[in-house]
Structure 1
Amino acid sequence: MGRLHWNKPSVTIRTEFFKPEKGRYLHPLEDRAITHYEASVLQGFPDNHRFVGTKTEIARQIGNAVPVPLGRAIAEHLEQALAVR
């Protein structure tokens, strides 16, 4: 178990982030695991994104996702590379 830090990058968000014993997913200040909402924010999902399913299914969607900013950066790089051809 470990605690996230406000001033450091997050650890990789995995599918069982809501279970403190599964990694370093404790809230920076509070004695609890991060919430599904907090994990989705760390993954770069917009505030208005709505997930569908049970809490376990939603955790799997969040944990298996490519972080949104990373996906965007890869897409922009590919767009530039393909435009050159």
Structure 2
Amino acid sequence: MGRLRADRPSVTIRTEFYKPEKGRYLHPTQDRPITHYEAALIQGFPDSYRWCGSKIQIARQIGNAVPVGLGRALAGAIHQRLTTATDREAA
């Protein structure tokens, strides 16, 4: 059990982040675990993202997700590599 630090990167958001005993998921300044909304923001989801399901199902969706920024960076690197390979083959 531990507290997130506002001045450092977050720990990995896992599927049971709402249970303080499962990791370092206590709010940086308040005596409570982070909320589903806060966990989704840490993962990079926009604040307008709509979730479906029970609280447990939503926590699983958030915890199992690849962080948005990481997914974007990976997709960009793969796209660049594929584009470069295609350009070389065409030459």
Q: Shorter-chain TM-score: which interval?
A: over 0.9
Specify the alignment match of 2:22 in structure 1: 22
CA shift at 1:49, angstroms? 0.6
Specify the alignment match of 1:32 in structure 2: 32
CA RMSD between the two structures: 0.4
Give 1 or 2: higher helix fraction: 2
Long gaps (5+) in structure 1 = none
Specify the alignment match of 1:48 in structure 2: 48
Q: Give the Cα separation in 1 of the matches to 2:84 and 2:73.
A: 17
Q: Give the Cα separation in 1 of the matches to 2:80 and 2:21.
A: 42
Percent identical residues: 67
User: Which structure has the larger Rg?
Assistant: 2
Specify the alignment match of 1:69 in structure 2: 69
Q: Give the Cα separation in 1 of the matches to 2:56 and 2:18.
A: 9
TM-score, structure 1 normalization: 0.98
Long gaps (5+) in structure 2 = 86-91
